[in-house]
Structure 1
């Protein structure tokens, strides 16, 4: 049974009569990484394994082993969108899938269009509101902490650091599947999912300023595509600097953060599929 893991117990105060708040136990995060799919109208009204009737308009999901009622924040690692759901059913029983989302829960993540997607799911508190949620600020770190990234799916615990100055302990592998087989990503995903992500690194009235930013980024990131796009906005010509294309939002966000370190602002934009 997967539950939130706790770090070492808090130490007593010098007098031993009360707990030291500064030494209170910090919860680790239990993370599931793998493929998510969805189910909808065909199962509407049917009884789930928990005894509840399935409702595709409620934020629920199916998982093979997690206790009923467990809440998960599920994030599509490709587009960074998140939703909180509650476990009410068992499944998915298709190979190499870790979770089946109800239709309404899958929509914000773009999974109804894609068919399936790679997600990171964190076990969250029982009082966490259900529905669309903010993307975890440490999404990249959670994804990178996977101790067995070549496995079809994994479950692992990411401990919290004892203090901001202390190094974060290594993640602990709780479960893993074998290496994924070829063709796990359905053809529908490459057809209907976003084509990629760009970083807009500036919008300028003066095209010379845009070309200067383009040249600077090219000097800093010689292996990354940087283009200037001319667009007419509110009757005025503007030059926008775009960096990328990136296959996943995580890649684009990592480059955006690096540009910010160099004093270049930017925002990530999704490239719509055609």
Structure 2
């Protein structure tokens, strides 16, 4: 009997320890998790993620310890009520009790870029949730556009490729106020938020344009 009691007591202690020490999804809602988030950027840009994809600091992706690759999550910063929708394509973070590692672009949209770490809420989106959250999004519906002459457009194109060699670029001649100009379109983004996040990164390099529908 004494041995049985010891076993039961040990089991309870282990259960309580695991329950207290590990950040888990809320018991009342398996789709929601609250905890610390961090971000990773240039140091990992272009490296392979755990899913086999190349990490791109400018895309809306994230690393999570257990969620299946391809899972879509809504991450909210309660300090400023800013939210982003991210796709899980990597594993981590493996520091302390952090629950998610977001891309640099996502960190900027969440207003946590300068702090490095912030408390967030992570919500797993099912098909209906995702449809509602992205109702206005259209695949490749937004680009970052700049009007310039040929020489300026060529120079900007080279700088943008140096910034991100995988960035899609398109140049076309158009007339603006009766004057012929070259319209340079950078990127193909699924939402305005995604395009604006990338444009903020370009702004730091003096390469920003105007977010417009494609």
| TM-score, length basis structure 2 | 0.46
Q: TM-score, normalised by structure 1?
A: 0.37
> Of Structure 1 and Structure 2, which has the larger fraction of its residues in helix?
2
> Which structure is higher in RCO with an 8 Å CA cutoff and minimum separation 6?
2
